[in-house]
Structure 1
Amino acid sequence: MDLLVQGSNFEVLQTSRYASGHWAPTRQLFKNQFFYDFTDVVQNGRLRLFIEQPSGTVLTLEQAEQKADGSWTTPTPMAGLPTIDATTSLPTRNFLAAAVVGTHVHLVYIGSTGQIMHTSERADGTWTYPDQVASGSAYKQDKFASVSAASVGGLLQIAVVDQAHGTVLHTVRHADGTWASWGNVLSQTGKPRYWGLPIRVAMAGFGTSLQMVVLTNGQVAQYHAVRHADGSWSRLGDINAQVDFNRAGFVGTVLQEVTAVNVSGNLQLVFASDDDKGSLFHTIRYANGTWSKAGLVQRATNLSSWRPSGVAGSAG
């Protein structure tokens, strides 16, 4: 698993978890004066980074990629995409997510008005003009706080946190480019006892099924569900009850970020804490449904020079 880490002083860091369970030394790729968010994908063996860069009152979507020698290109604007008006953007920190569907990279992000926008890369490297995701649905005017994307059965699936309704929404982009209406995930999974306010969602595709992780603003309120090939959902299960974050050293108030990656048929998760060290926790949900105990990433790779504040993972 390749893991990119956002440092609290706007560094982009890189490490990897090998099949043996060991972690690569962490290195700083570059440092910016300021950036909002980033995400990454692996396409045809290339690790690609997408980042939101502010400049004055606008945000620019930029991209970079890792070269064969391990070095990185300098982030450059993504051709064909308009800037995002940062003066009206809701929320203040935008979020973006990417997935490879077939031969194309798809990017979704929270636009100037707080709604979810979608674009895909053409064969010539330019990007399609953004369209609003599921614009005709009942939730089209809602403002979303987190977004995730995954390739499932050859289709793009999107999930968002809708804090206005205290839930998570899900949609599918059909092969003809149309979108299914937003569906309320809690109406399918049931609402856990200790739910709180949802703050983040992350997903990974597993063939024709989807695995989703939701974080809420409670200290022990992290949940997992599966969307099956027939569109049905499992109930949201308590992750902490399986992995025991406290045993791994969690002393913060909340786990504030998460990334989800399909690695050889197992779900690997990395969580970022809000504590003063930016502690990162790793766990695995195996294909048979069992979980590994959570482990502190800082015990496996040296992150003492930085304070992590965000994570983005991919199956490298």
Structure 2
Amino acid sequence: MLAATTVVAGVLTTGGVHQAGAAPANTSPVSTWLMQQLLVLQPGTTDGGIYDNKPGYHNTRAGNRSDDYSVTDPQDQGGPSNLAAAYDWTFPDAQRGSYGTIAVYSNRLLAAGRANDPRLEGWREFFGQTDNDTAVEGWDFRKKVAASSDSSHLWHIHLSENRDRVTSHDNKVALLSVLKGETVNQWRSTQLFTSNSSGGLVHTMRGRDGSWTRFGDVKSATGATVTPVDTASAMVNGEQHALVAGDDGELWHAIRRVEGPWTVFGNVEDFAGEIGTITRVAATEIGGALHVVVLSAGDNVHHSIRRPNGSWTPLHSVEAFAGDLSDLTDVAAAGFLNGELQVAAVSGIRLMHTLRRTDGNWSGWGDVEAYAGNPGGPLSVSATEVNGIFHLVANYGFAGVRHSTRLPSGSWTPLLKIDDYTGNRTGLALDVATVGFTSGELHVVALATSGAVWHAARYGGGGWSSWGDVRGYAGDPGTGLATRVSLAAGWRS
């Protein structure tokens, strides 16, 4: 049964989404989450089951014979041995002989299989109904050949997942991208969200092919009246979550759905608690949840989590655990696949760093410049994760836009000026943003006092592209200078 629909913080959500620890026996919590997402994706469908004590992927590896096809390949010999790796998604209208709905999703899967779509690299197979005949269509993603099964798949879609991906959240998000009808380019896109000096909010998207969409007016799309002081955004399950710290001191949140429409902005503090005037905001995704870090006018760093079901945890003080800072002017956050959250903050003329471990405990603040060099006083900061490495980009004004990495060992590379590697210069910057991909690429945007919206990429091998002005492709980001900017990656690919 579908959960009831509710409105949380001004956006439409579906209650009853499974949280970690709520999964049945032999089922990964994130597998239970995926099934709930399928039911939300197509209202009226039902859960046909994940675990079943029978041969194949519905059973665990330990519960199968050693020669079963679902356990013999290397992709199925990894991952927990006690978890099922298959999903049955049932379409009641197809049970009544009406195949229009099931055919939409079956055809998307079949087309993606035939195209060798990278989003399905972690999946073994699917069976379903793509037309109105009595034959079951399917595809073996591993062997790259057509497949079929028994007639029950005329009314339900069966999906088998590589067993070494059963606990992977990203693998399931990639599947949902296919089912939602996104293109690979959209899946791998970079979202740019910025404010301007006339109080506007605009959005553009860069595809992995380098193309940019035209800037769109977010305030017109959402009906928002807030004047932005700062912006942040993060991609969660294919949807862009936008945060705005307003001149009213409040924190506002809206979502850009996969298909493009925006929800209205809702006041986060109505649900996460009032903490006074919010001056800066950062956001990132961890395990399907949105993590938000803010600065308040009282010189405090606060953190909240928007759970997958739309509810918010209270905004709590990070400094109560990591130590006090003063003269706070900016903050950045990066989420890691292992569940860690790393945070950087500009405190006076220092650049500070802390991390929230998977158990919820925070490390003490550390001085980045004590290890990465001191180019002067930072004006703004951004951060992202690339393959387990923390990448930090900071605006040092006349000392340039700088880049450093924090390795898993805790050591830092020097804060190097990006202009020294791009072959051209940004000029004096107002703000910076960065986002990374598992390909090793790092993308950086710098807003210049000249009005330019500069973009550059650092490739996996360490070389940089030249700076290019986004305005030449996406148009003008509104009246006045672009002032605060954020980037979000479609997925970690």
Whether the TM-score (by the shorter chain) exceeds 0.5 is yes
The CA deviation string for residues 193-251 of structure 1, in whole angstroms up to 9 with x for no partner, is xx232111111101221111111121x422111111111111111211111443xxx4x
1:49 aligns with 2:233: no
Which of residues 221, 224, 227 is equivalent to 2:406? Answer: 227
Which of residues 244, 253, 271 is equivalent to 1:63? Answer: 253
Query: Which residue is equivalent to 2:474?
Result: 301
Which of residues 241, 250, 256 is equivalent to 2:420? Answer: 241
The structure in which a higher percent of residues are helix is 2
- Pairs within 5 Å for 1:260-299: 260-263=434-437, 264-275=439-450, 278-299=451-472
Query: Which residue is equivalent to 2:191?
Result: 2
For the pair shown, which has the larger CA radius of gyration, 1 or 2? 2
- Which structure has the higher relative contact order (CA within 8 Å, separation 6+)? 1
SS at match of 1:135: helix
Which of residues 326, 335, 344 is equivalent to 1:151? Answer: 335
Q: CA RMSD in A?
A: 1.9
Percent of aligned positions with the same letter in both sequences?
25
Contact 2:226-2:247 within 8 A present in 1 as well:
no
Query: Which residue is equivalent to 1:23?
Result: 212
The structure in which a higher percent of residues are strand is 1
Which of residues 72, 79, 94 is equivalent to 2:262? Answer: 72
Contact 1:134-1:171 within 8 A present in 2 as well:
no
1:312 aligns with 2:490: no
Query: Which residue is equivalent to 2:274?
Result: 83
SS at match of 1:14: strand
Shift of 1:115: 1.4
Which of residues 110, 114, 131 is equivalent to 2:299? Answer: 114
- Pairs within 5 Å for 1:189-204: 189-191=372-374, 195-204=375-384
Shift of 1:40: 0.7
Contact 1:170-1:185 within 8 A present in 2 as well:
yes
The unaligned stretches of length 5 or more in structure 2 are: 1-189
Please identify, of 77-86 and 127-136, the stretch whose mean Cα deviation from structure 2 is larger: 77-86
Change (3 A) 1:305 1:119: closer
SS at match of 2:447: strand
1:100 aligns with 2:276: no
CA–CA distance in 2 between the matches of 1:244 and 1:2? 25
Aligned residues: 293
Shift of 1:271: 0.5
Change (3 A) 1:77 1:231: same
Contact 1:115-1:143 within 8 A present in 2 as well:
no
The CA deviation string for residues 6-28 of structure 1, in whole angstroms up to 9 with x for no partner, is 12212111111122212111121
Contact 2:322-2:354 within 8 A present in 1 as well:
no
CA–CA distance in 2 between the matches of 1:189 and 1:222? 14
CA–CA distance in 1 between the matches of 2:477 and 2:413? 39
Shift of 1:33: 4.9
Shift of 1:77: 1.6
The CA deviation string for residues 104-151 of structure 1, in whole angstroms up to 9 with x for no partner, is 21100002311111111234322111221143455x041311100001
Contact 1:4-1:14 within 8 A present in 2 as well:
yes
Q: TM-score, normalised by structure 2?
A: 0.57
CA–CA distance in 2 between the matches of 1:217 and 1:97? 20
Q: What is the letter of the counterpart of residue 300 of structure 1?
A: Y
The unaligned stretches of length 5 or more in structure 1 are: none
SS at match of 1:310: strand
Change (3 A) 1:22 1:141: closer
CA–CA distance in 1 between the matches of 2:479 and 2:342? 33
Q: TM-score, normalised by structure 1?
A: 0.87
Change (3 A) 1:6 1:304: closer
Change (3 A) 1:27 1:157: same
Contact 1:61-1:81 within 8 A present in 2 as well:
no
